[in-house]
């Protein structure tokens, strides 16, 4: 059966302000900025793509200010960088000559591009923010709720984002799975955020290339380090995650 016009319009409606980021216009040192984000949102912002960089630039305005993101040097492999929320950095946006190799410059900030710097600097910063909603709704009802009360049903573009969402889920008692913004349509799995990319974390029994009977994506809630999603019946009612 062809997807309904209503569903096509629902998936095609992407807000121009769609964002998982919150800009905090307060100057803090990197550790204090991360602590603020953990208390009030989720963590300092990870950046996974050119689309993410463009979102950050739109949030912060002209490239004239230095802004903390969740970028820090790996403690055991000092030539590597990781995200404060977990996971290695997979795409870099360093300015020419950065990182410059100084051992005291352990933190990363952006001023249009990325730079490394020591703890002695205080900047404004960007948090990554997700909201776990414990109301039980169908997949489409979850979208409506997120768009009315937050931004949208959460799309996941990296392992780090998945780890951060699990971090929020582990703080609350929820249904065994929670809705995310993933839907099978016209022969493919699509994210509500069309810039989410191609990151996948399907459960080991899933074959996303087959035409599924269950056509909505839900994330398994797990505090044992297992991060994966599965296909479910879209009319099932469960909790969900919003941006």
When pLDDT is averaged across residues 215-235 and rounded to a whole number, the result is 88
Q: What is the rounded average pLDDT of the residues 126-131?
A: 96
Q: Per-residue pLDDT for 76 more than 80?
A: no
Q: Average pLDDT of the chain?
A: 87
pLDDT at position 30: 97
pTM, to two decimals: 0.87
The reported pLDDT for the residue numbered 178 is: 97
Instruction: Sort 25 into a burial class: Cβ within 10 Å, 0-12 / 13-18 / 19+.
Output: exposed
Mean pLDDT of all residues in 114-141: 95
Lowest mean pLDDT among 65-74, 184-193, 200-209, 210-219: 200-209
Torsion of CA 144, 145, 146, 148, to 10 degrees: 80
pLDDT at 102: 86
The helix/strand/coil state of 5 is helix
Residue 19 banded pLDDT, cuts 50, 70, 90: confident
Q: Which percentage of the chain shows pLDDT scores above 70?
A: 89
Contacts of 202 (CB under 8 A, 6+ apart): 208, 228, 229, 230
- Does pLDDT of 105 surpass 80? yes
How far is residue 114 from each of residues 39, 67, 78, 177, 197, measured CA to CA in Å?
25, 9, 17, 36, 21
Q: What is the tens place of the pLDDT at every residue in 166-183?
A: 999 999 899 999 999 999
* Res. 15: pLDDT tops 50: no
pLDDT at 162 over 90: yes
Give domain limits for the chain. Answer: 5-16+130-242, 21-127
pLDDT of residue 207: 63
Identify which has the larger pLDDT, 211 or 115.
Answer: 115
The residue with greater pLDDT, 210 or 189, is: 189
Q: What local confidence, expressed as pLDDT, does residue 5 receive?
A: 43
Residue 165's alpha-carbon distances to 91, 128, 173, 205, 221, in angstroms, are 20, 10, 14, 22, 9
Q: Which CATH class is domain 21-127?
A: alpha beta
**131-154 pLDDT, tens digit each:** 999 999 999 999 999 999 999 999
- Cβ contact 205:216 at 8 Å: no
| pLDDT at residue number 129 | 96
Q: What is the pLDDT of residue 225?
A: 67
Pairwise pLDDT comparison (49 vs 18), residue with the higher score? 49
Give the architecture-level CATH label for domain 5-16+130-242. Answer: Roll (3.10)
Identify which has the larger pLDDT, 3 or 76: 76
Q: Token digits for 123? A: 């900047």
Two domains, one topology: 5-16+130-242 and 21-127:
yes
């Amino acid at each position: 059966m062809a997807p309904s016009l209503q569903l096509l319009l629902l998936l095609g409606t992407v807000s121009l302000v769609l964002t998982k980021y919150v800009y905090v216009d307060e100057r803090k040192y990197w550790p204090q900025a991360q602590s603020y984000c953990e208390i009030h949102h989720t963590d300092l912002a990870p950046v996974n793509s050119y689309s993410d960089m463009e979102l950050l630039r739109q949030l912060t305005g002209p490239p004239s200010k230095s802004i903390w993101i969740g970028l820090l040097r790996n403690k055991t492999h000092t030539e590597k960088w990781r995200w404060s929320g977990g996971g290695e950095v997979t795409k870099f946006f360093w300015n020419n000559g950065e990182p410059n190799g100084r051992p005291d410059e352990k933190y990363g900030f952006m001023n249009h591009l990325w730079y490394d710097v020591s703890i002695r600097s205080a900047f404004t910063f960007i948090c990554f923010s997700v909201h776990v909603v414990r109301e039980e709704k169908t997949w489409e009802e979850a979208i409506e709720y997120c768009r009315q009360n937050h931004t949208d049903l959460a799309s996941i573009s990296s392992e780090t984002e998945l780890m951060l969402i699990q971090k929020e889920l582990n703080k609350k008692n929820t249904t065994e799975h929670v809705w995310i913004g993933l839907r099978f349509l016209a022969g493919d799995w699509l994210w509500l955020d069309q810039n989410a990319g191609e990151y996948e974390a399907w459960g080991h029994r899933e074959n996303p290339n087959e035409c599924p009977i269950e056509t909505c994506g839900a994330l398994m809630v797990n505090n044992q380090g297992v991060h994966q999603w599965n296909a479910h019946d879209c009319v099932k009612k469960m909790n969900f995650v919003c941006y």
